[in-house]
A = this chain, B = another copy of it.
Amino acid sequence: MSRAGSPVKLSEEKLARAALTYLAEPGDPALGALLGICEPAEVLAAIKADLLPGIGPGCGDSPASRVALERALGRWRVRLPELPDADGIAGACRDGIGLICPGDAEWPSALDQLGQARPYALWLRGNADLRFACLRSVSMVGSRAATGYGGHVAREIAADLAERGWAIVSGGAYGIDAAAHRGALAAEGVTIAVLACGVDYPYPAGHADLFTAIAAQGLVVSEWPPGRRPARTRFLVRNRAIAALACGTVIVEAGERSGALNTARHAANLGKPLMAVPGPVTSAQSAGCHWIIREWGATCVTRAADVIEMLSPLSVPDALAPGGCSEPAYSPGSGSPGPDPVPSRDDLDADSARVLDALPARGGAGTSTIAVEAGVDLDTVLRCLGRLAGYGFIERGDGGWRLRRPGRTSDGA
């Protein structure tokens, strides 16, 4: 993947996956099932040739699946006239826009929890590393018609989370979504807007500047190709990606019929920690939050430290379960109010200590160099780097990861 200024050559598989994002709606169960048994290029070729893909020896065949596939083929072929050619698709990958696919280094493995509903590919705008950001992330969503209270609380908690090294994942709507992004941006943190339209499509129009700011500091992400307009059903499909990308979901304000509760339901179904911020019981915009606290067992959170505690496997065993976040952030333990202490170098877990030792005494090093030096796999290195950065031991610069100095680690480096 490249998000440089000029278009790049894409592999056959990536070209095919990109083409499929033009032809099929994300979450299409027929395409999800097909991609489990066929190569993307094979599926694309079959669609173009008006043949039933995935039917034949070894691929399973039944009258029912044949009828479903015929219908699916019909709806995918409808968009064939609008499908850009290979140059056109590659040309979309420029001006800061890129494409990542399952198997890419930057592909967030958290999305694989979605099974057949996994995105075919993701279009990105911005320069942050999506996989790395998602390892330590919180989705924060809520009502478009947020109150002043809700907007204030979303900004504050998002800013606090960003300051502690957590990325924010949200949609692109007015209200809580925008407040969460703005809080993270203000704290110079990474924030990720997952849109239900093309990453270059400013919807709502009033958020064009916000999306530009998010792309500069984080990422604008979409399952839909550049230029694609939003649609009502797309928001609901998009919500599963918001829930899946992050380690846990926080609902800040939501009416009883808010779409945010759909995201909350996805998070719960994925086995991820679900949290909600309470508010006045006299406010209809908090009714959905209170509802999921009482009826769905969402955790009542009031500040960033509560959220981090929920996502820390040291205090919350659930976070270690499949679908949970495996990022062992610091745990305040008792859960009592107070600032987070930072562990000393001696208190680090074995992997983090090895990764920290692997950083050069002077200058920086890339992730893979560090992995080789530390002798741990790439995913673990990414997690440990995030943790160490959160603790203030290291920072990311132009030359890669480097020790922070002077500071807490100055005598240990």
Chain B residues with CB under 8 Å of A306's CB are 294
CB distance from A338 to the nearest CB of B (A): 11
Number of copies: 2
Name the contact of A290 in the complex, choosing from B152, B287, B295, B300 (C-beta under 8 A): B300
Let me know if A281 and B302 touch, CB within 8 A: yes
Chain B residues with CB under 8 Å of A152's CB are 282
Q: Which of A278, A287, A299, A335 gathers most chain B CB within 10 Å?
A: A278
Name the contact of A279 in the complex, choosing from B256, B278, B294 (C-beta under 8 A): B278
Which residues, 263 to 287 on A, are CB-close (under 8 Å) to B?
277-282, 286-287
Kindly state whether residue A355 has any CB partner on chain B within 8 Å: no
Let me know if B302 and A300 touch, CB within 8 A: no
Chain B residues with CB under 8 Å of A337's CB are 256
Give the A interface residue count (CB, 8 A): 24
Let me know if A153 and B299 touch, CB within 8 A: no
Residue of B nearest to A299 (CB): B294
Residue of B nearest to A297 (CB): B297
Chain B residues with CB under 8 Å of A378's CB are none
Kindly state whether residue A86 has any CB partner on chain B within 8 Å: no
Q: How far is the CA of A216 from the CA of B306 in the complex (A)?
A: 46
Let me know if A294 and B290 touch, CB within 8 A: no
Let me know if A279 and B277 touch, CB within 8 A: no
Name the contact of A278 in the complex, choosing from B256, B278, B299, B303 (C-beta under 8 A): B278
Kindly state whether residue A314 has any CB partner on chain B within 8 Å: no
Interface flags, A117-158, vs B, CB<8A=1, else 0: 000000000000000000000000000000001001100000
24 chain-A/chain-B pairs, Cβ below 8 angstroms: A149-B280, A149-B282, A152-B282, A153-B281, A153-B282, A277-B281, A278-B279, A278-B280, A278-B286, A278-B293, A279-B280, A279-B281, A280-B280, A281-B302, A281-B303, A287-B302, A290-B302, A293-B293, A293-B300, A294-B300, A294-B301, A294-B335, A295-B335, A300-B300
**Which A residues contact B (CB, under 8 angstroms)?**
149, 152-153, 256, 277-282, 286-287, 290, 293-295, 299-303, 306, 335, 337
